[in-house]
């Protein structure tokens, strides 16, 4: 089984006063058979880190292992283990989708007949079978993402590095992507995925690595902050939204006006799922007819929004 281990990885750009520290002493692991999400705000260093893992950018300090391979010492061996999907396709716009896959396969020393067969299989897998003979330059953003994923899979890699793979995909294609990634992980592959679509990311990942200002940060403090839960009563009406919120607040032992309103539902903060369950019990015992009681944010969104604004070394 081939996983990813990064220890103390740093990378800066520029010199002197214009130096930008893109990644700061980042350490993390991505395990085989699991999908790991790389989460952080814009400019956090996610793409720079992925480029170093893909052997396309050398770290200033630290070590990287793809299985037992150091991608800086032996980039060819690392690239045979890795499937790299950048945020933008960035290759051969005049080639058809089929030619793109065949050419990529040939670069991995796959025989031409096998490359043709692989192209047909992969284009069907990602939903581009009907566009196999269309040039890449006419494909939509989402279709190019599908082609980029097919290209990353051409040599049957054990590790996948995916930068914003769901960008531009329609809802049905996003569901298909989730199913495919879970299947690939179940086969024992290591998958590291960067995405800003946190709701989609939460549906597919097993683990998360949070990157802020180039540094991996501990997300534990976010778990101690109150998470909003949406509470809706039967027959919710905008005209009496605040009145319903005050009835719920009273059941929870809170002052009138303590709860916010979101889409005809009250929003209450609870420190944990156990506290939320206890709050629901109080509301029901007060005789209120609850028709919705659900998190206002996903757990990943809640953690993301409560990340520190600077890394530990910033």
Read off the pLDDT of each residue in 29-36 and give the average, rounded to a whole number: 96
- Reported as type and span, the H/E element at residue 293 is strand 290-295
User: What are the structural domain ranges in the chain?
Assistant: 4-217, 221-305
* Residue 34 confidence (pLDDT): 96
According to DSSP, the residues that pair with 23 across neighbouring strands are: 11
* Residue 153 confidence (pLDDT): 97
CA distance 164 to 194: 5
Task: List pLDDT tens digits, range 99-124.
Answer: 999 999 999 999 999 999 999 999 99
Among 208, 229, 228, 227, residue whose Cα is nearest residue 219 = 208
Q: What is the domain class of 4-217 according to CATH?
A: alpha beta
DSSP assignment of 30-60: E-TT-EEEEE--TTSSHHHHHHHHTTSS--S
* Residue 238 confidence (pLDDT): 74
Residues 6+ positions from 121 with CB-CB distance below 8 Å:
none
* Residue 222 confidence (pLDDT): 43
Of all residues in the chain, the percent with pLDDT exceeding 70 is 95
Among 281, 312, 310, 275, residue whose Cα is nearest residue 295 = 275
**Which segments of 137-289 are extended strands (E)?**
159-163, 190-194, 207-212, 215-217, 227-233, 260-262, 265-270
Residues 6+ positions from 132 with CB-CB distance below 8 Å:
96, 97, 98, 119, 120, 123
Task: List pLDDT tens digits, range 207-231.
Answer: 999 999 899 987 654 445 678 899 9
pTM: 0.82
Of all residues in the chain, the percent with pLDDT exceeding 90 is 68
Six-digit token pair at 12?
Answer: 């800066």
Read off the pLDDT of each residue in 47-56 and give the average, rounded to a whole number: 95
Say which residue, 311 or 35, is predicted with more confidence.
35
Q: DSSP secondary-structure letter at 129?
A: G
Say which residue, 80 or 93, is predicted with more confidence.
80
Q: Are strands 61-66 and 20-30 parallel, antiparallel or unpaired?
A: unpaired
Burial (CB count within 10 angstroms: exposed 0-12, middle 13-18, buried 19+), residue 288:
middle
Task: List pLDDT tens digits, range 252-308.
Answer: 999 988 898 887 889 999 988 899 999 999 999 999 999 999 988 777 887 887 777
The 3-state secondary structure of 146-179, one letter per residue? HHHHHHHCCCCCCEEEEECCCCCCCHHHHHHHHH
pLDDT band per the 50, 70, 90 thresholds, residue 309: low
* Residue 221 confidence (pLDDT): 46
* Residue 106 confidence (pLDDT): 95
Read off the pLDDT of each residue in 148-157 and give the average, rounded to a whole number: 96
Residues 6+ positions from 35 with CB-CB distance below 8 Å:
181, 182, 185, 191, 193, 204, 205, 206, 207
Query: Residue 193 above 50 pLDDT?
Result: yes
Instruction: Choose from 50-59, 89-98, 222-231, 256-265 the range with maximum mean pLDDT.
Output: 50-59
DSSP assignment of 63-113: EEEETTB-TTT-HHHHHHHEEEE-SS--S-TTSBHHHHHHHHHHHTT--HH
């Amino acid at each position: 089984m081939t996983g990813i281990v990064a220890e103390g990885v740093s990378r800066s750009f520029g010199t002197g006063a214009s130096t930008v520290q893109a990644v700061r002493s980042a350490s993390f692991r991505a395990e085989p058979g699991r999908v790991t999400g790389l989460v952080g705000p814009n400019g956090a260093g996610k793409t720079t880190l992925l480029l170093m893992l893909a052997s396309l950018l050398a770290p200033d300090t630290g070590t990287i292992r793809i299985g037992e391979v150091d991608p800086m010492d032996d980039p060819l061996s690392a690239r045979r283990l890795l499937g790299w999907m950048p945020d933008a396709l960035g290759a051969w716009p005049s080639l058809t989708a089929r030619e793109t896959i065949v050419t990529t396969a040939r670069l991995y020393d796959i025989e031409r007949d096998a490359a043709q067969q692989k192209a047909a299989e992969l284009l069907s897998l990602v939903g581009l079978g009907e566009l196999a003979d269309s040039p890449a330059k006419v494909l939509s953003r989402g279709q190019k993402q599908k082609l980029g994923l097919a290209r990353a899979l051409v040599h049957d890699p054990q590790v996948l590095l995916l930068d914003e793979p769901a960008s531009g995909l329609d809802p049905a294609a996003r569901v298909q992507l989730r199913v495919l990634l879970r299947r690939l992980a179940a086969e024992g592959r290591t998958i590291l995925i960067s995405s800003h679509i946190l709701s989609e990311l939460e549906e597919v990942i097993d683990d998360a690595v949070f990157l802020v200002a180039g540094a991996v940060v501990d997300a534990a403090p976010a778990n101690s902050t109150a998470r909003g839960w949406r509470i809706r009563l039967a027959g919710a009406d905008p005209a009496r939204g605040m009145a319903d919120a005050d009835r719920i607040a009273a059941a929870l032992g809170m002052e009138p006006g303590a709860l916010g309103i979101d889409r005809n539902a009250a929003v209450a903060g609870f420190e944990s799922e156990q506290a939320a369950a206890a709050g629901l019990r109080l509301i029901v015992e007060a005789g209120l007819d609850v028709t919705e009681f659900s998190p206002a944010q996903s757990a990943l969104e809640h953690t993301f929004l409560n990340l520190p604004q600077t890394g530990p070394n910033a």
